[in-house]
A = this chain, B = another copy of it.
Amino acid sequence: MKRLRNKIKMGLAANLNIKEFMLMPASPIDELAINTIRFLAVDAVEKAKSGHPGMPMGAAAVAYVLWDRFLKHNPADPEWPDRDRFVLSAGHASAMLYALLHLTGYDLSLEELKQFRQWQSRTPGHIEYGLTPGVEVTTGPLGQGFACAVGIAMAERWFASRYNTPDCEIIDHHTYVLASDGDMEEGVVGEAASLAGTLRLEKMVCFYDDNGVSIEGSTDIAFTEDVGARFRGYGWNVIGPVDGLDIAALEKATRKAKTQKGRPSLIICQTTIGYGSPNKQGTAAAHGEPLGEEEVHACKKCLGWPYPEPFTIPDEVRAHFAGARARGERAQRDWLAKLAEYRGKYPDKAAELERELGGELPPGWDEGLENVFSPGEKPLATREASGKVLNAIAPKIPALIGGSADLAPSTKTAINGAGDFSASNYAGRNLHFGVREHAMGCVASGLALGGAIPYTGTFLIFYDYMRPPVRLAAMMGIRVIYVFTHDSIGLGEDGPTHQPIEQLMGLRLVPNLVTLRPADATETAEAWRIAIERRNGPTALVLSRQKLPVLDRAALAPANGTSQGGYILWEASHQPQVILIATGSEVHIALEAGRLLKEENGVAGRVISLPSWELFDAQPEDYREKVLPSGITARVAMEAGTAHGWERYTGGNGAIIGLDHFGMSAPGPVLYERFGFTARRMAGKALEQLKRR
């Protein structure tokens, strides 16, 4: 096999008799089924004039063995909680998955396959969760699927540990991943694999489609490592290399992996990209573009496919795959019977489990939330406030689990007394991600997809390490809560490498992400409420390292204005002359500026706390107009981050106090003073504004 692949690499593909490969021929129906998958994918790409035929052709047998012989799923109910998960980390092989979904009876018509990559089809270029039934994770950007699958496997262990009883394993499923060379090259896979090894996630199995080719050519030019040795180093059970065409060997390897105890498994499958295409197989040319009509023809001939008509599904293949749906329905029925028994014996547990899997919150989960902080509370950082809120609500929401990328003591993200999630205690709720922000983001998505309400914790600057999963969570519309602390130059001495400038605004640019930067402890409690209740997308909480006063809500507006994104916190008069806008720690400076203006200059100011742009922008126009009347154009905004974008609220003539350069290493208060984040400067800018008119 290896030898043959080398021959192909050496450009001899065209002279090879493809049958040479079939060292261990599959049974006729298997072979026909595998070719059906291949050609559905090839035809879809051809029709779209766009897409990736190479991996479907090379990895079809691998996917087929898993789907035909092992995968526990019910195509009639893609939401069945105890199904096995199949995560196609190589999202570009989408057409292969669509073929499998169609063939095994998911609600995905052949017509949809014909609409591959077209406007409003359910068969987009890279697979999308929520759009296509049976797609478990949105993938495409490499590495994301694999790392997300680690989170899914963790969720399985968590639910199993919490809800299974000695007489009833109500949660018991596997997480399978199909990953490519490109996935293996991405660092996030290393991070997640190391974590999976540490956590001994024995029910995770990854098929590595080792085809030795990537876009620039042979992987040898950039990737000569021994992947198996690396994964063994992570603590994985490594199986293979297995010939990716050898059904029996694949079956044996999968069985071995499935029953492996104490370690996740990697099955290295040696395959040939574009298998069956006489002129392109084994080369990068087969990867990411249609084969072309002529080559498709040659390919069909080569693989002995007798149907010239595209999108043909032989009757015997249809009949063969019908078994999938029957098996799935039976399996789910058995499980439902088990669940009924479980409900009878453990009604409370069952109710809780079902509520959690349904994404519902326990009734009264937020009782007393408004009283976590008393009016006379001493100043505290919003990160500390966040820690208190988390610990106030965590006992009421069991599925709220999370942790930090090795910064828990700083991010205040530990749940007291809830135990550590570890190989010896999967029921623990405190996760230790290690210094792996990227994997943390992906794992959090996996946990959410698995039914938990996950939160992460790191410094805001390290959002830069986890942008890809935050974006995908927003795209998937799943509930993940990102706690980002140390949110500005206020963190002080750690210096510019740790001081966010563009990160806060960067969060606001991501569609369907809600970002909240609360001004004090009470707004922090409200921010958590919003994050927990938000079911259709992720939320970022942006919190201070430094202590901040707890605003006196008797004298100021109540903190529940947070839910509107922005609100009038204080005003000297209902007819203010100037509007001061700020978020987070700068709200206190704005309040002081308002006081100065009133007392020293007799100028009436209004202070807007604007914790969330997204929520504010979503308010009805009359509310926004009430808060920011268009007639009052004298406006000053202050935020200890980039000034960029604040024109939205200051208008063309307003002033913005922000930072358009990197920070410095010095105590936080020194930086605030030196960089001009002072009440006096803000008041001065306001007076300038008024003078200009």
Spell out A's residues near B (CB within 8 Å). Answer: 48, 50-51, 91, 117-121, 124-126, 128, 138-142, 181-183, 185-191, 194-195, 197-198, 214-216, 219-230, 232-235, 284, 404, 406-410, 420, 422, 432-436, 438-439, 461-462, 464-465, 467-468, 471-472, 474-475, 492-498, 501-502, 505-506, 508-512, 633, 642, 644-645, 647-648, 651-653, 660-662, 664-667, 670-671, 674
Contact = CB atoms under 8 A, between A and B. Distances in A.
Contact of A410 (B215, B235, B674): B215
A185 B465 contact: no
A124 B664 contact: yes
A51 B648 CA distance: 39
A644 to B, nearest CB: 5
A407 B214 CA distance: 9
A569 B425 CA distance: 65
B235 A406 contact: no
23 contacts: A91-B497, A118-B665, A118-B667, A120-B664, A125-B494, A138-B497, A141-B464, A141-B498, A185-B406, A190-B190, A194-B225, A195-B222, A197-B224, A198-B223, A198-B225, A222-B434, A226-B233, A226-B235, A227-B233, A229-B232, A284-B409, A474-B662, A506-B509
B187 A187 contact: yes
What 10 A-B pairs are tightest by C-beta distance, nearest first? Answer: A187-B187, A124-B665, A222-B434, A229-B233, A140-B497, A502-B509, A230-B233, A190-B190, A651-B652, A647-B647
Contacts of A633: 652
Contacts of A142: 435
B182 A435 contact: yes
A507 to B, nearest CB: 9
Nearest to A491: B125
Contact of A436 (B187, B432, B474, B494): B187
B125 A511 contact: no
Contacts of A219: 434
A498 B216 contact: no
B661 A512 contact: yes
B186 A436 contact: yes
B665 A497 contact: no
Contacts of A50: 492-493, 667
A532 B408 CA distance: 43
A189 B186 CA distance: 11
A140 B495 contact: yes
Contacts of A188: 187
B409 A495 contact: no
A409 B465 contact: no
A258 B501 CA distance: 40
A304 B44 CA distance: 75
Nearest to A180: B435
A409 B215 contact: yes
Nearest to A670: B119
A404 B511 contact: no
A662 B140 CA distance: 14
B216 A225 contact: no
Contacts of A186: 187, 191, 435-436, 465
Contacts of A120: 664, 666
B118 A666 contact: yes
A240 B139 CA distance: 39
A410 to B, nearest CB: 7
A493 B182 contact: no
A168 to B, nearest CB: 31
A468 B468 CA distance: 12
Contacts of A229: 229-230, 232-233
Given A185-B435, A233-B229, A506 B502 contact: yes
Nearest to A422: B221
B493 A48 contact: yes
A236 to B, nearest CB: 9
A127 to B, nearest CB: 9
A492 B117 CA distance: 9
A498 to B, nearest CB: 6
Given A117-B666, A229-B229, 11 more contacts: A118-B667, A128-B496, A185-B194, A214-B435, A219-B434, A222-B433, A472-B497, A474-B662, A475-B497, A502-B511, A652-B653
Nearest to A231: B233
A648 B648 CA distance: 8
Contacts of A433: 222
A672 to B, nearest CB: 12
Nearest to A507: B502
Contacts of A506: 502, 506, 509
A51 B493 contact: yes
A91 B409 CA distance: 20
Contacts of A665: 117-118, 121, 124-126, 128
A167 B228 CA distance: 43
A666 B229 CA distance: 41
Contacts of A661: 511-512
Looking at A191, A409, A492, A494, which has the most chain B CB atoms within 10 Å of its CB? A494
Contacts of A185: 191, 194, 406, 434-436
Given A117-B493, A432-B216, A432-B221, A464 B467 contact: yes
A647 B648 contact: yes
Contacts of A125: 493-495, 498, 665
B664 A215 contact: no
Contacts of A468: 464-465
A141 B409 CA distance: 18
Contacts of A508: 644
Contacts of A406: 182, 185, 214-216, 222
A514 to B, nearest CB: 13
